[in-house]
Amino acid sequence: MEWVDEVASRTRPDSVVWCDGSEQEYRIFVDQMLKEGTLIELDQKRYPNCYLHRSDPDDVARTEASTFICTPERADAGPNNNWMNNREAENLLWRIFDGCMAGRTMYVAPYLLGPSNSPYCQVGVEITDSLYVVISLRIMTRMGAIALERLKDRDQFVRGIHSIGTMNHSLRYVCHFPNTKLIMSINSNYGGNALLSKKSHSLRIASVAAREEGWLAEHMLIVGIEDGSGRLTYLSGAFPSASGKTNLAMLKPPPSLNDFKVWLLGDDIAWLHLSADGRLYAINPEVGFFCVASNSSAKTNPNLMEAIRKNTIFTNVGLTAERTPWWDAQPPAASVLDWRGRTWHPGGATAAHPNSRFTIPIRRYPMLSPKSDDPHGVPVSAILFGGRRSELVPLVYEASSWEHGVLVGAMMKVETTAAADGTVGRLREDPMAMMPFCGYDMGAYFQHWLDFSRKSKNLPRIFHVNWFRRGKDGRFVWPGYGENLRVLKWIVGRVNGEAEAVETPIGNLPAPGSLDLKGLDLPKGAIEELLYVDREGWLKEVSSFEKFFKTFGDRFPKALWQEYWNLIARLQS
Ligand code: GTP
Ligand code: SPV
Ligand code: MN
């Protein structure tokens, strides 16, 4: 309460509202937004309790250039983060926050990350003047009274201060102070910049604590794969932003593999703790999805299409005359307004913004794992790293050891997507899909990963997958989506000692015939292309990482350099 008073005295709102997270309160907030025009009601018969939100056209994605880690020493943030001195940053930010809520209401939204009865549960409090943030937090986290309850016997919580400010792009800041567990964000109202529970708390602040306390806070999906015999194998997977986590977590088996069930636990963030049995157990701190609209259809993701029919906030999609949401993968519609509310003409720029998103309560999801609320989480048997790579990188390969797997994760690259500001399709490094989200020096982060092999002999196996290879015609070679289960089946087979592999310099690939391709009509030569290891190409690829790894200086682990030189030697031999 002292802290809330202090923030109020600096930002000077007209009133302060403490959020209880109730249904009734949600209705009041939604009604208020409908009146203000920050939400648009969709056809309530076809989309009950669903609304459209249009953001400021200049505020549609994470802005990495305005995201900072603020610590006493630059070295704490590493070359992977923008850095500001913590004291200077706080002074600067308080000057921008000064009086910024005048004429507005300040909302205090306490939230939990993780099940309330979990030893890994964390409390955060976000102060904000944005109702869009408040209603999103209520979908994405366990928000309200339940979190205050938890604070009764402790004062440990992550403090988040957010304001829409004036939306002045040049004064936009998303600043993280890991040492005091404080986040300050102003002049953006976009998901990853403004919902401070998400990347800011769950990853940037949590990753620093995770290193100190010996666990992992990762940009990962979590799924349980149940095969025909009822055996469950849990996988987690780190793919860069807009590169397939949600879609893999929501996978619907193709007809030829319909004896499988895929249970969802999480689609974006996983906290992993080592248990007494030496296994890594994963929980999803969130209880909602903030997921990509583009390409989502009954064909690519039928389970998602079912989930969005109720209680969903659509951000920056198009709107049909029937007041239904509309985006690229929807059947053609007459008279559509684009995401900015302007008349859309077929063939013009996309009606929905490429980074348009759905915010959905996880309980809407038809194949939610019965373990999704388990306080200890689920034991992970395999960790998948995945790139978005049109060339070179095969459909799947397995690392030969934990250490080799850490190198595989460290050597991830992605063709950039619309999830962050900047050019789309530029190839850049994104180790473990954490480049934008690791709250400290990634050299130390790699060491933290390596350290797990000293603590346990029972760690998950590590794999790399790539659904995004393109042929000479520019089209995807692999059908992706539900068909990805064929690759997961091989991975499940590997961890259970059933599937065959061939050794190659980069790792173990499926032996001929060991990938289940029954009922899949791939063009001739496609699977050979997808599983080909081009030594020359790989030598170039691996060599390109030397410069990147050197940016971490002494903090880059010696053992990882050793893995690196071993890989180069294997490729040259
Ligand atoms: P964030 O929420 O930004 O972290 O993204 P994400 O990793 O959850 O990605 P998501 O599953 O939303 O997929 C992003 C885009 O890639 C969407 O347009 C998907 O339709 C597309 N996509 C996902 N899986 C596949 C696949 O297997 N093949 C192809 N071709 N596209 C895919
Ligand atoms: C991502 O960019 O990885 C997302 C969306 O999942 S955001 O919440 O903006 O981080
Ligand atoms: Mn993400």
* pTM of the complete model beyond 0.85: yes
Atom of ligand 1 nearest to the CA of 481: 27
Whether 62 lines ligand 2, by a CB cut-off of 6 Å, is yes
Atom of ligand 2 nearest to the CA of 357: 5
Atom of ligand 2 nearest to the CA of 62: 9
User: Which residues are within 5 Å of ligand 3 (an ion), measured at CB?
Assistant: 241, 268
Atom of ligand 1 nearest to the CA of 480: 27
CA separation for the pair 266, 377 (Å, rounded): 11
Whether 199 lines ligand 1, by a CB cut-off of 6 Å, is no
Q: Which residue owns the Cα nearest ligand 1 atom 11?
A: 244
Whether 244 lines ligand 2, by a CB cut-off of 6 Å, is no
Upper half-sphere CA count for residue 434 (Cβ side, 13 Å): 32
CA separation for the pair 179, 181 (Å, rounded): 6
Non-local (6+) Cβ contacts of 140 within 8 A are 195, 197, 198, 286, 287, 288, 290, 359
How is residue 225 written in tokens?
Answer: 């794969």
Residue pair 137/195 in contact (Cβ under 8 Å)? The answer is yes
pLDDT (0 to 100) of residue 349: 85
pLDDT (0 to 100) of residue 204: 98
Residue pair 245/343 in contact (Cβ under 8 Å)? The answer is no
Whether 268 lines ligand 2, by a CB cut-off of 6 Å, is yes
The SS3 call for residue 488 is: helix
- What are the mean pLDDT values of the chain's consecutive 10-residue runs (573 residues total)? 97 98 98 98 98 97 97 98 98 98 98 97 98 98 96 89 97 98 98 98 98 98 97 98 97 97 98 98 98 96 97 98 95 92 90 97 97 98 95 98 98 93 92 98 98 97 97 95 98 98 98 96 95 98 98 98 98 96
455-469 burial, b at 16+ Cβ within 10 Å, e below that, comes to eeeebbbbbbbbbbb
Q: Which residue owns the Cα nearest ligand 2 atom 1?
A: 241
For residue 513, how far is its CA from the centre of ligand 3 (angstroms)? 34
pLDDT (0 to 100) of residue 332: 86
CA separation for the pair 427, 140 (Å, rounded): 31
Ligand (nearest to CA of 414)? 1
Q: For ligand 2, pick from 185, 220, 268, 437 the residue to mutate: most ligand atoms within 8 Å of CB.
A: 268
CA separation for the pair 198, 269 (Å, rounded): 8
CA separation for the pair 565, 572 (Å, rounded): 10
Whether 289 lines ligand 1, by a CB cut-off of 6 Å, is no
Whether 419 lines ligand 2, by a CB cut-off of 6 Å, is yes
Q: Which residue owns the Cα nearest ligand 2 atom 8?
A: 192
Do strands 182-186 and 158-163 pair parallel, antiparallel, or not at all (unpaired)? parallel
| CB burial of residue 12 (10 Å; 0-12, 13-18, 19+) | middle
Whether 436 lines ligand 2, by a CB cut-off of 6 Å, is no
Q: Shortest CA distance to 88 belongs to which of 71, 64, 65, 66?
A: 71
